[in-house]
Amino acid sequence: MLADLKTQFSVIRALTIHELQGLMKTYNYGFAWALLEPMMFIGVMRVARSAFKSLTPPNMPPTTFLVVGIIPYYMFMNVMSSASKAVSQSDSMLKFPRVTPVDLSIASALSDFCIYLTLFCVLLVPFSTYERVFPPDNGMEVFAAIIMLWMLGVSIGFVTGTAMRVFPPVKQFVGYSNLINRMAGGMLFVITMFPSEYWPYFTWNPVLHCEEMLRDGWFTTYTSPVADPVYVMKCILGILVLGLSLERYQRRMPYI
């Protein structure tokens, strides 16, 4: 059992490094896009905030507020997408008998984690220093929220990936749900910006809890009234068990 785990760890490590090294191949496009897309979004939101002051809460500096919310959310989206792709499609790496779709999913999710964590630090340190909100109020809470978002992304990726493998149009539905999540997931707001009677419409979403934890952990001026890490862990556990079970069952099916 321990030997198997050690082997799987070695395989995931090798694949993660291989994946990260592969990014340099299309450096101008692949890696630059990872940097450019959230940067552009932050830029647009920052300009919009200048026009409409109520877009971000008054007790948090706007640029740091946006960076703290947007980068981890992009990580979540990309982790979910790459985990799902690794499970749903055949890959040349599967020709190595040691490599399984689960290893590929975790490896590509880890490489996304590395990219976005670097981006998070590179953008956040100068912006938060400039806006005088550095260091974070509770670094551990921020890091825990990022890890939870990553785990949530991997878990949902397993479920959507297995669904896509048997029914490819699921991809469209995933796209729509991502759009809804983008609006309702707390990337651009904190829950206190809405009257409390509307909170139950948002708090079912584990992504919102993670975003709340991020803002709660970074800003001394904000304490989230709804952030619940236990709820997020329960969601991760449930979705992960479902995703891994589906993946295990589907391994017996040929690729289309």
One residue of 66, 75, 77, 99 binding another protein per CB under 8 A: 99
One residue of 35, 94, 114, 242 binding another protein per CB under 8 A: 94
Shortest Å, Cβ 13 to another protein: 6
Residue closer to another protein (CB basis): 96 or 198: 96
The answer to whether residue 107 forms part of the interface with another protein (CB under 8 A) is: no
Query: Angle CA(175)–CA(179)–CA(182) in degrees, nearest 5?
Result: 135
Burial class of residue 187 in the structure, from the number of CB atoms within 10 Å of its CB (0-12 exposed, 13-18 middle, 19+ buried): buried
The answer to whether residue 246 forms part of the interface with another protein (CB under 8 A) is: no
Binding residues with another protein: total (CB under 8 A): 28
One residue of 17, 114, 240, 244 binding another protein per CB under 8 A: 17
In whole angstroms, give the CA distance from residue 37 to residue 59: 27
The answer to whether residue 114 forms part of the interface with another protein (CB under 8 A) is: no
CB 104 within 8 Å of CB 17? no
The pair of structure tokens assigned to 216 is 């709660």
The pair of structure tokens assigned to 254 is 């040929």
- Cα distances (angstroms) measured from residue 248 to each of 71, 105, 161: 32, 13, 12
The answer to whether residue 22 forms part of the interface with another protein (CB under 8 A) is: yes
DSSP string across 114-172: HHHHHHHHHHHHHHHHHTT--S-S-HHHHHHHHHHHHHHHHHHHHHHHHHHHH-TTHHH
Shortest Å, Cβ 89 to another protein: 12
One residue of 1, 5, 25, 52 binding another protein per CB under 8 A: 25
Which residue stretch of 10-18, 64-72, 171-179, 184-192 sits at the interface with another protein (rule: CB under 8 A)? 10-18
One residue of 40, 43, 59, 96 binding another protein per CB under 8 A: 96
Residue closer to another protein (CB basis): 7 or 59: 7
In whole angstroms, give the CA distance from residue 4 to residue 22: 27
Residue closer to another protein (CB basis): 167 or 194: 167
One residue of 24, 47, 51, 140 binding another protein per CB under 8 A: 24
Taking the CA atoms of residue 36, residue 82, residue 122 and residue 212 in that order, the dihedral angle to the nearest 10 degrees is: 100
The answer to whether residue 175 forms part of the interface with another protein (CB under 8 A) is: no
Q: Which residues bind another protein (CB under 8 A)?
A: 6-7, 10-11, 13-15, 17-18, 21-22, 24-25, 90, 92-100, 251-255
